[in-house]
Amino acid sequence: MNLVLITEQTLNGLQLGVMLFLMAAGLTLVFGIMNLVNLAHGALYMVGAYLTTYFFQATGSYVLAVVLGLAGTLAVGVVTELIALRTLYERDHLDQVLATFGLILIFNELIAILWGRAALYSSIPEYLSGHVQLTETLRYPLYRLTIIGIGLSVAVLLWYVVTRTRIGMLIRAGASNRTMVAALGVNIRLLYTIVFGFGAALAGLAGLLSGPIYAVQPGMGELILIQVFVVIVIGGIGSIRGAFAGALIVGMVDTLGRAFLKPMLATVISPTAADLAGPAIASMLIYLLMAGVLAFRPAGLFPAAR
Amino acid sequence: MTRRDWALVILLGLLAAVPPLAALLHEPFYLDLLRRVMIFAIAAVSLNLILGYGGLVSFGHAAYLGIGAYAVGILAHYGIHNGWLQWGLAIGVSALVALAIGAISVRTSGIYFIMITLAFTQMLYYLGISMAEYGGDDGMRVPVRSQFSGLIDLNDGTAFYYLVLAILAASIYLVHRVVHSRFGRVLQAARSNEARTRAIGFSPYPYRLTAFVISGAMCGIAGALLVNHTAYLTPEFMNWTRSGELMFMVILGGIATSSGPLLGAAALLLLEDVLQGWSLLPREAVRDHWQLYLGVILLLVVLFAKRGLAGLLPGKNE
């Protein structure tokens, strides 16, 4: 194992981590404030990826496609909230899980009807392709660096909005006592819709960024959704800070595990056994990590203050 | 017996009458379809124990379906076709895994419980995919069915059908007995009010965990039946959508009722069959996108018809 490879994989882990954070931030806010289990969050990720891919092909302008994709996902999110999810806030978790599971099926099939089941080719603009010479021996894709940059900027922006602005104050207040916030004259329904739309846009952002790296196809959202659940369980529900820490931990562990577990095992056990066990254990690593965290910190690493 | 119980007995009686009727009408297809329905009904019955009576929203019940199937399939892969051994392993491993997952997840509640059960099932799904020896992503054929020392021949469609029916009836009865025992009362008490249950001196944790393990083991049997039914094994048995479908069966049929899981499994799988072969609409559009209709129905049932199909049966609601 050389240093270049380790640095490269660490950057990959960071990139997966910020992607997970974009998803987890929206989901954890919705959990924390509306007490809603939204399985359809992954569907919004998919919608973001599809809309941006479509608009990029249609208009030829990446910036315009990103703007339209984000606005489109936000609109889809808000409409979904108004039509279906709004009635679910007062229901129990079982109803929420089943109804949003139904929404996933609907979204996946609608996408399949519109664009087909085959994976869509999603390209990146000329100026974001290519590599950056980080050190003499390490060249890293510019696009992945861009994702890391955007992800970290969004994290800082979120921190600023939640802790330093009036809307952030309302969000925090809504999370700790919604009845009281409503009694103080805040339109809590509107706040819910804003938060949901905001979370949807973040999911759309994650989706459109990941499009060119992973496959754009129906059901793409669910694969990442379950990883995001792991992130939230590790970080603690309702906590943005927890989501950030959890996302980076999960991104790193997953990426480094897949890259280095097999060669590391091979030094301990026979190479053939490592060939068999390595990938199996690597794919289970984040779940085992989650079990470990839960055993010692049942409320996650950074539980939201109540 | 209440009128509800009689309705259930009549339902099972009707199922028992299917093989001679199917033979009479030369429609062996229905035998196959209803056997599949009953196998999923067993899984749904097991889920109903923890979801309906225990209030534990497990989004990972497909895991035990997969474990039961893999236990049978892996032994068959090494030429061990002894059914007692295969099914014993299926039940044992399902119970052990349920104990491990339950020990961690039952400590939590609400959203955490849902996400953790889902995540662990996904872990097992990826484990199934990464086991190249047992077919990996594609799965593997399990051509030889379990052999029960000449006692019953699963290659005989009718005999297999009646075995599944017997196991279904037995599992409904078992859940009925568990629910109406002291153990079941505590379990239901903890569902309706945990604080009061604690106050009168019961810690819900061991009760919930035990129910979780019973439920997992029972679902393991359904998995063993399923792999014998399909003669094929794939990680898709453990796909998270499968877990969602099992939950939907319980809700559609009627949560915390004895006939609900059977009604729900029948309704969902027959609906799937009808939608895929519907001739009124352009066939391709329906067959390819029947999950869209399923999603809409699911949404409508959850939003407007919480009592489920069992609520339509005569008799008082439980």
CA angle B26, B22, B230 (to 5 degrees): 95
Cβ neighbors of B178 (< 8 A, separation 6 or more) are: B49, B184, B211, B214
User: CA of B227 to nearest chain A CA: how many angstroms apart?
Assistant: 23
Q: Please check whether residue B244 touches A, CB under 8 A.
A: yes
Alpha helix ranges (H) inside chain A: 3-34, 41-59, 62-80, 93-115, 142-164, 166-176, 178-183, 188-210, 220-235, 240-268, 271-296
Closest residue in B to A35 (Cα–Cα)? B111
Of all residues in chain B, the percent with pLDDT exceeding 70 is: 93
Amino acid (1-letter code) at residue B13? G
Tokens read off for A212: 């060119």
C-alpha to C-alpha distance for B10 and A298, rounded to whole angstroms? 47
Helix B182-192, helix B157-179: angle, nearest 10: 70
Which residues 141-160 of chain A have a CB within 8 Å of chain B? Answer: none
Tokens read off for B239: 């796909």
Domain range for B147 is 3-312
Contact A43, A104 (CB under 8 A): yes
Q: Please check whether residue A268 touches B, CB under 8 A.
A: no
Res. B280 pLDDT band, cuts 50 70 90:
low
C-alpha to C-alpha distance for B311 and A289, rounded to whole angstroms? 43
C-alpha to C-alpha distance for A45 and A24, rounded to whole angstroms? 11
Could you tell me if residue B318 is inside a domain?
no
Could you tell me if residue B157 is inside a domain?
yes
Looking at residue B318, its pLDDT comes to 47
Are B126 and A283 an interchain contact pair (Cβ–Cβ within 8 Å)?
yes
Q: How many CB atoms lie within 10 A of CB B304?
A: 8
Cβ neighbors of B163 (< 8 A, separation 6 or more) are: B152, B154
Size of interface A-B (CB pairs under 8 A): 114
* Domain A3-120+141-296 CATH class label: mainly alpha
Q: Please check whether residue A232 touches B, CB under 8 A.
A: yes
Q: How many domains is chain B partitioned into structurally?
A: 1
C-alpha to C-alpha distance for A111 and A230, rounded to whole angstroms? 26
User: CA of B143 to nearest chain A CA: how many angstroms apart?
Assistant: 25
Q: What are phi and psi of B147, to 5 degrees?
A: -110, 130
CA angle A227, B59, B187 (to 5 degrees): 135
Closest residue in A to B52 (Cα–Cα)? A94
- pLDDT, mean of residues B143-167: 87
* CATH classification of the domain holding B174: 1.10.3470
The DSSP result for B11-38, as a single string, is HHHHHHTHHHHHHHHT-HHHHHHHHHHH
Q: Which residues of A touch B260 (CB under 8 A)?
A: none
Q: Which residues of A touch B118 (CB under 8 A)?
A: 226, 229
Could you tell me if residue B317 is inside a domain?
no
Q: Which residues of A touch B299 (CB under 8 A)?
A: 84, 99, 102-103, 106
Give the nearest partner residue to A101 out of B119, B298, B306, using CB atoms.
B298
Of all residues in chain B, the percent with pLDDT exceeding 90 is: 52
Output Rg (C-alpha) for chain B, integer angstroms.
19
Q: Please check whether residue A306 touches B, CB under 8 A.
A: no
User: CA of B312 to nearest chain A CA: how many angstroms apart?
Assistant: 20
Provide the CA B259 distance to its chain's centre, in angstroms: 13
Looking at residue B216, its pLDDT comes to 96
Helix B18-25, helix B28-48: angle, nearest 10: 160
C-alpha to C-alpha distance for B40 and B65, rounded to whole angstroms? 9
**Which neighbouring-strand residues pair with A132?**
A140
Q: Contacts from A51-59 at CB under 8 Å and sequence distance 24+?
A: A51/A204, A51/A208, A52/A122, A52/A204, A52/A207, A52/A208, A52/A211, A53/A120, A53/A121, A53/A122, A53/A208, A53/A211, A53/A216, A54/A115, A56/A122, A56/A123, A56/A125
**Which neighbouring-strand residues pair with A139?**
A133
Could you tell me if residue B49 is inside a domain?
yes
Are B112 and A233 an interchain contact pair (Cβ–Cβ within 8 Å)?
yes
Q: Which residues of B touch A109 (CB under 8 A)?
A: 289, 291-292, 295
Could you tell me if residue B257 is inside a domain?
yes
Looking at residue A34, its pLDDT comes to 82
- Interface probe for B, chosen from A95, A226, A301 (most Cβ of B below 10 Å), is A226
Looking at residue B285, its pLDDT comes to 61
Could you tell me if residue B214 is inside a domain?
yes
User: CA of B155 to nearest chain A CA: how many angstroms apart?
Assistant: 34
Q: Please check whether residue A109 touches B, CB under 8 A.
A: yes
Are B116 and A290 an interchain contact pair (Cβ–Cβ within 8 Å)?
yes
- Interface probe for B, chosen from A90, A91, A97 (most Cβ of B below 10 Å), is A97
| Of A72-76, B175-179, B272-276, the least confident | B272-276
Closest residue in B to A113 (Cα–Cα)? B289
Q: Which residues of A touch B111 (CB under 8 A)?
A: 31, 37, 93, 237
Contact B255, B48 (CB under 8 A): yes
Give the nearest partner residue to B292 out of A97, A110, A226, using CB atoms.
A110
Q: Please check whether residue A237 touches B, CB under 8 A.
A: yes
B112-154 tens-digit pLDDT? 888 889 889 999 998 998 888 888 888 898 888 888 877 888 8
User: CA of A36 to nearest chain B CA: how many angstroms apart?
Assistant: 9
Are A98 and B133 an interchain contact pair (Cβ–Cβ within 8 Å)?
no
C-alpha to C-alpha distance for B121 and B61, rounded to whole angstroms? 8
DSSP A119: P
The DSSP result for A37-103, as a single string, is --TTHHHHHHHHHHHHHHHHHHH--HHHHHHHHHHHHHHHHHHHIIIIIGGGTTS-HHHHHHHHHHH
Q: Please check whether residue A104 touches B, CB under 8 A.
A: yes
Could you tell me if residue B46 is inside a domain?
yes
Q: Which residues of A touch B57 (CB under 8 A)?
A: 93-94, 97
Q: Please check whether residue A105 touches B, CB under 8 A.
A: yes
CA angle A141, A142, A146 (to 5 degrees): 125
Res. B71 pLDDT band, cuts 50 70 90:
very high
Residues of chain A with pLDDT under 70: 1, 304-306
Q: Which residues of B touch A232 (CB under 8 A)?
A: 115
pLDDT above 60: residue B317: no
